[in-house]
Chains A and B, each alone.
Chain A
Amino acid sequence: MVGIFQSWNIALSIFNLCLISAVMTMGANIQWGYAGLINFGIMGYTALGGLAAVLISVDPVQEAWRAGGFDILMSLWLIVVMVLVIRFILKRFEKSKIRTYSIAAIIISGILLIRFSAEPGIEAIEAVDPAKTGFLGGFGLPIVFSWIVGALFAGGLAFIVGKVALGLRADYLAIATLLISEIVIAIIKHEDWLTRGVKNVIGLKRPAPYEVDLQTTDWFIKLVEKFNSGKLSVIENLADREAALNQLVIEGSSVFVKLCYSGLFLVVVIILLILTQKALYSPWGRMMRAIRDNEEAANAMGKNVVKQHLLIFILGSAIVGIAGAMLVTQDGLFTPGSYRPMRYTFLIWVMVIVGGSGNNFGAILGGFVVWFLWIEAAPISLFLINFFTAGIPETNALKAHLIESVPYFRFLLMGLGLLFIMRYRPKGILPEKIEIK
């Protein structure tokens, strides 16, 4: 529809983001719909996925490694030692006040030690050509690998968070995960040696061909010519036809690149859909629902509730991590400043609730519908405002003000949508199908 009204290019970019949103929503849906765990830290996992894309695909900055690589590796080693020492103490000694205090002392002194040992290295790295690099770079691998690594990163964080916070009651868990994700963003924003921070990383590698290359490739020009042969044959003049073809090729190349992305993303969505559907109807899925609906009963049946909660928390977060890496892949740039809880946590939750928690198709539908509305809310509300104020002259202050604030109607639309769904269809558009008899 957008393809006809606006352009195929816009339609495809919305479609791609819909696919990414669908993946994120599936991740959140696994946690909330299957297991009833509330995770408001989606933003943090998305950002970690994005970080993975950077670390995998960017070429290593040799100079920076020479300047400060040793210090960084030393600090990493110190962190590992610190964790091992703490584990050793936890295993070896009985729980007591002295143990708690000594662990706290180790952590504090360790952080201070690492800060002082890493500082010269960090400064040296950040001083290496700060306008272009000023960070360690990555491994220079194809960016598609980062989707898996993104999942690993996010899963790793989820393991730590889950160990720490999963015992909390639902609304406390929500707040704790929200705040932890803010901490993650703060680290990504300000550790310039790792991520370039707010200086952003641009020009990441792409899994799809570049538009400029496509425009000079023979087979692609022939393809475009074939598709538009009807249109082209009307034009008599040879020079005119050449110009028209050129225009079409430029348009077609960006559409083609977007189509490549859509294909890749579709594959991911379909694989995930198959896996999640299988999981939902497997004995494991039944167990998760049993735990969700009655934790004590499931516990009494001998199911390890804590372990399963942790597992599903990691799985869901890993899926969100994939989506984060996909997002950075499609944009080709990593901007830590753009990770905001509104867009990456709460909007995803609106998708989950609106689509239908516990139903994978619902999650995908929610991702599509909500993202579409989020993007198209401005044009729609502009149309509505113009429609209802048709009688009022253009110069009217109220009308001008309303038209100026059109971008914010998307918040209104989302909020009202969420409230109405919560009120009149609390299970979402596509409710969970399994009934427990």
Chain B
Amino acid sequence: MDFINAIILLLNYIFIPGLTYGSQLDLGAIFVTLIYGILRFANFATGDMMSFGTMMTILFTWYFQSLGISLGVLPTALLAIPFGIFFMILYMLTIDKFVFKYYRTQKSPPVQFAMVSIGVMFVTQAVVRIIIGPGDRRFFDGEKFIIKAREFKEMTGLNEGLALKSTQVITIFVTIILVSLLFWFLNKTKTGKSMKAYSDNEDLALLSGIDPKKIVLVTWVIAGILATIGGALYGLDKSFKPFTYFNNMLPIFAAAIVGGIGNPFGAFLGGYVIAFSEILLTYAYKKFFMYILPESMEPEGLVQLLSTDYKFAVSFSILVIVLLYRPSGIFKGKVL
């Protein structure tokens, strides 16, 4: 019985949160990796673009709520996401046309692109803050829990409860569906294959008749979808605050690089690597050991490897270590 309690404990505090957080990072990391692989620059505006998409989603959610439209047990935001995506793509394409296109035709070095993306970051931050303000916003509605901790305890008679939030389930499901669709698109369709070819070798791709304009367009469309959904899911699960989104850029970068930048599958796994290592290293295992060890061997302290304050630092340290020993990432990405 104690053993099952211990398992439930880990499920509740490590596995499910890790999976959720990892999925949220994933979408952002694939977004970074796609931009890096195809447009060839590190996009420092990632976090803020995600917050722009989320902001659009929130605005539409409010609009639908004011009209009285809702999805019942599901959050209204799911209905608003497609509209958010539309405006996100529109915004990205505008920025691309007025900002990035010039440097692409100039064949500027990646550093210059990165600098320009910082300019875009400033502008996007301003736009988001001017439209919706810097405050903390929750836009979740519908049923909050699928399984409540207390219900679970009563149902099974165990000491440990297992809580399952609906946002967690939605996040994991949507991520899996979206990522599988994306991989299908990249590997099976003609456009996807030409995107890969363009990423591998631009000149060769151009020679074989691939239209660069179309590739760029499709990349931004996919990026818009990923950014909006990733941002909206994060906002649903936690809350929307522009500053948090800007900060999220850092673990997202870490995930993309750890997985091997330019490699979408690497980014997908990188998200989970980052999320789980953050949670595993900062979780206090005292209760877990109390369950599995005999009473005489119970630990005194919290049995916590690092205090939770260092959550971010953990993922960054992993990134630094990976950069040192395997700069191309765990799953070979672009060669440096």
Chain A residues with CB under 8 Å of chain B are: 38, 164-165, 168-172, 174-176, 178-180, 182-183, 186-187, 189-190, 342, 346, 349-350, 353, 402, 404-405, 408-416, 418-419, 422-423, 426
Measured between C-beta atoms, what is the minimum distance from B216 to chain A in Å?
A: 19
Measured between C-beta atoms, what is the minimum distance from B58 to chain A in Å?
A: 16
B183 lies within 8 A of chain A by Cβ: no
Contact sample, A vs B, 24 pairs, CB 8 Å cutoff: A38-B114, A170-B109, A170-B111, A171-B41, A172-B323, A172-B327, A174-B114, A175-B42, A176-B320, A179-B253, A183-B312, A183-B317, A342-B125, A346-B121, A350-B118, A405-B130, A405-B133, A408-B134, A411-B126, A412-B130, A415-B120, A415-B122, A418-B118, A418-B122
In chain B, what residue has the closest Cβ to A169? B336
A165, A168, A171, A415: which contacts B119 (Cβ < 8 A)?
A415
Instruction: From known contacts A165-B323, A179-B254, infer whether A38 and B129 are also in contact, taking CB-CB under 8 Å.
Output: no
Q: Which residues of B contact A168 (CB under 8 A)?
A: 323, 327, 336
B110 lies within 8 A of chain A by Cβ: yes
What are the 7 tightest A-B residue pairs by CB atom distance, in nearest-first order?
A415-B122, A415-B123, A412-B126, A411-B126, A408-B129, A418-B119, A190-B309
In chain A, what residue has the closest Cβ to B134? A408
User: Do residues B316 and A408 form an inter-chain contact, with CB atoms below 8 A?
Assistant: no
Q: Which residues of B contact A172 (CB under 8 A)?
A: 42, 257, 323, 327, 336
Contact-size category for B: 35 or more
Q: Which residues of A contact B116 (CB under 8 A)?
A: 418-419, 422
Chain B positions 91-113 with a Cβ under 8 Å from a chain A Cβ: 99, 102, 109-112
B111, B120, B310, B316: which contacts A419 (Cβ < 8 A)?
B120
User: Do residues A415 and B126 form an inter-chain contact, with CB atoms below 8 A?
Assistant: yes
Determine chain B's interface SS by DSSP, over half rule. helix
Q: Which residues of B contact A187 (CB under 8 A)?
A: 313
Most chain A C-beta atoms within 10 Å of own C-beta, residue among B115, B253, B319: B115
User: Do residues A171 and B316 form an inter-chain contact, with CB atoms below 8 A?
Assistant: no
Instruction: From known contacts A168-B323, A168-B327, A419-B116, infer whether A190 and B253 are also in contact, taking CB-CB under 8 Å.
Output: no
Most chain A C-beta atoms within 10 Å of own C-beta, residue among B122, B126, B134: B122
Chain B positions 224-273 with a Cβ under 8 Å from a chain A Cβ: 246, 250, 253-254, 257
Tell me the bound Cα distance from A168 to B329 in angstroms: 13
Measured between C-beta atoms, what is the minimum distance from A126 to chain B in Å?
A: 13
Instruction: From known contacts A176-B323, A182-B316, A183-B317, infer whether A171 and B130 are also in contact, taking CB-CB under 8 Å.
Output: no
Chain B positions 283-311 with a Cβ under 8 Å from a chain A Cβ: 307, 309-310
User: Do residues B310 and A175 form an inter-chain contact, with CB atoms below 8 A?
Assistant: no
